[in-house]
Chain A
Amino acid sequence: MRNKLITMQEAVAKYTWDGMTYAHGGALPVGSDSIAFGREMVRQGRKNLNLISNCNTQQSNLLAAVGAIKRIEVGFAGLEVYGFANGLKRAIETGQTIAEDYSNGAIPLRFLGGALNWPFVPAGGIMVGCDQQWCSGDNPDEYPATNKMPEITDPFTGRKVAVFSVAKPDVAAIHVTMADIYGNAIMLGTEWSRYELSRCAKKVVLQADFIVDTDCMRQYPNLVRIPGEVVDAVVYWPLGVWPQCSVGVYDSDEEHMFAMNAAFKTPEGTEEYVQKYVLSYNTREEYLAMIGKEKIEKITNNPTTFLMDPYRKWIKSDDEIKELEGRAE
């Protein structure tokens, strides 16, 4: 087993590049996601991204707002009760970002197909017979589109069935609640499509709220849905899902959720946001100071924190983590 714990700056420098197919992993639009990883991609100026978002989150909203996404495959493009995702909405309406729409079930099935190395995935009835089948962002003038979900003949029944292409992103950045230095990881809350995503991406980077001792994994091996064997790098970034929530750890920062989304309505607002909340820190300590002590106290006091109780004794301290980061293999 290899120590894969590296810094956020190193992880983004090594595992992301302009023009790549990037997938970010989390739980639907306002739950867990590797948002701090996305902030670092903006800090390092990544652009022309081909994004696969099972759901939009504030990460894809930010990347779209700064104009870094040329194309997105997406199941749900909003922010649920927080409203439309203004950055992504603006990018699609102006034609800057090409949207290839899928449903929320279709994207994980395409991840699973990629993970299994299948040539395609039968759609069942998903997206069939409606404009999600007939309208393709990649070939928008062709209606009905023939290449997005082509029909083949079921060899057993002779019936026509529609199929999906499979998804194999270059890199997936996946948020997990806790990971050890080898990449074994436990997620609290819905896993959403993170199991499939961790298997279909060519490289996998984990962003963890906590680094824990491997003894934790040995106590709860059934809960380790992402084993280190499929992981390339681990990054420790506390409150890395902020302003969204990480079940068991911190709540949504409702005020910042609205303010961030409001800023993305215009390029000027976005620029101001980036200056204030993306470029303004270099270290984890500075990032936490930016969020503020009072806010952190408020969001870490929530009705889900009991979910972390069984794991607390294995959590590594910031000093231990710094030392381990220096010894990555």
Chain B
Amino acid sequence: MDYTRQELMAIATGRELRDGELAIFGVGLSMLAGYFAQKNHAPNLMAFTEGGVFGSTPVGGLPWGIEDNRISANATSFTNAIDALCVLVASGRCDVGIIGAAQIDKYGNVNTTGIWAGETPWQAGRYVLPRVRLNGSGGANEIAIGCKRYIIMAAHEKKRFADKVDYISSPGYINGGHDRQKYGFPGGGPSAIITTLGILRPDPVTKEFYLDAYFPFSSIEEIKDNTGWDLKVSPNVKVVPEPTEQELKNLREVDVTGSLRKK
């Protein structure tokens, strides 16, 4: 079957969402995955964006932002940042969120703030400017601390999958184990990292992410080679089922401009 890595990543992410859940999506890929799920198998998914745009589905293609006309043309409610991000998400009420990552570590901590080329921002006790400045956390921090569970989507490349991220913008399990409880986060943490090659899930005790399943066109070796830590592999590691015709059709109806079709 003819599909791209990005398309299977979006479909695999969508499969994680269940009918009837309250869900928040970030911009871009995560939004396509979320609205795909709603179209495909979760018609009663209650989706909103961090700006407080409720009840809408994208019109005319992938929205340029989570507040733009393409996502505002058929909304049932417009509220605001405190309502969406603080009242519904940071409080612990939202079932599931989807976020992206520029850099990610074995405990699911996400860096979207800056790249210091494998160093921390503090070298010999002095702060150094980032080699590359990224966008900052936006609302992903609220999703990471507050959603009952959340899913991280990232292109599977060694430079992104680091033993330690340069900067934690949004917390996963910090240093693993029960670390989240120490900070009193209401949410449960990341339930999966869905990449362009496969699916990683956290060990129930240590919270270190291991390989749970790989895409049909990938392999355990390829994934290990593209991961910056010694990735553990589940003894029951699976192959992710290929997209069904129905799934691809539904995804492409959401992704009308074909942003996921680019190889």
Is A67 part of the contact surface with B, judged by Cβ < 8 Å? no
B9-17, B45-53, B220-228: which one contacts chain A? B45-53
Interface flag for A92 (CB, 8 Å): yes
**A128 x B137 contact (CB < 8 A):** no
Selected contact of A104 from candidates B72, B130, B138, CB within 8 Å? B138
- Any B CB within 8 A of the CB of A240: no
Q: Which residue of A lies closest to B72 (CB)?
A: A247
Q: Which residues of B sit under 8 angstroms from A193, Cβ to Cβ?
A: 80-82
Is A304's CB under 8 angstroms from B73's CB?
A: yes
A131–B69 touching, CB < 8 Å? no
| Contact for A109 among B65, B66, B86, CB less than 8 A | B86
Q: Using a Cβ cutoff of 8 Å, how many contacts connect chains A and B?
A: 220
A190 touching B62 by the CB < 8 A rule?
no
Q: Is B59 an interface residue (CB 8 A)?
A: yes
B112 CB, min distance to chain A CBs, angstroms: 9
| CB-CB nearest in chain A for B53 | A190
Q: Which of B152-160, B165-173, B246-254 contacts A (4 or more CB under 8 A)?
A: B165-173
Judged by DSSP, the binding face of A is loop
Q: Beyond A105-B90, A132-B137, is A192–B69 a contact (Cβ under 8 Å)?
A: no
Q: Which residue of B51, B62, B68, B174 contacts A245 across the interface (Cβ within 8 Å)?
A: B68
- Interface positions, chain B 50-75, Cβ under 8 Å from A, are 50-53, 59-60, 62-70, 72-73
Minimum CB–CB distance from A4 to chain B (whole Å) comes to: 24
Q: Give the nearest-CB partner of A193 in chain B.
A: B81
Q: Are A105 and B81 in contact (CB under 8 A)?
A: yes
Contact A188 B67 (CB under 8 A): no
Beyond the given A84-B133, A106-B141, A107-B81, please list 15 additional residue pairs across the A-B interface where CB-CB is below 8 A: A30-B68, A75-B139, A76-B135, A76-B136, A81-B65, A103-B140, A104-B50, A126-B90, A130-B174, A131-B113, A135-B127, A189-B67, A191-B52, A191-B79, A304-B69
Comparing B177-185, B209-217, B234-242, the segment that makes contact with chain A is: B177-185
* 4 closest residue pairs by CB, A with B: A140-B127, A78-B135, A190-B51, A76-B138
Do B82 and A108 have beta carbons less than 8 Å apart?
Answer: yes
| Chain B, residue nearest A127 (CB) | B141
Q: Known A77-B133, A81-B27, A126-B142; judge A190-B67 contact (CB<8 A).
A: yes
Contact A80 B64 (CB under 8 A): yes
Other-chain residue from A81, A93, A103, A303 in contact with B133 (beta carbon distance below 8 A): A93
Which of B141, B174, B187 has the most CB atoms of chain A within a 10 A radius of its CB? B141
The verdict on B40 contacting chain A, using a C-beta distance below 8 Å, is no
Q: Which A residues touch B3, using CB under 8 A?
A: none
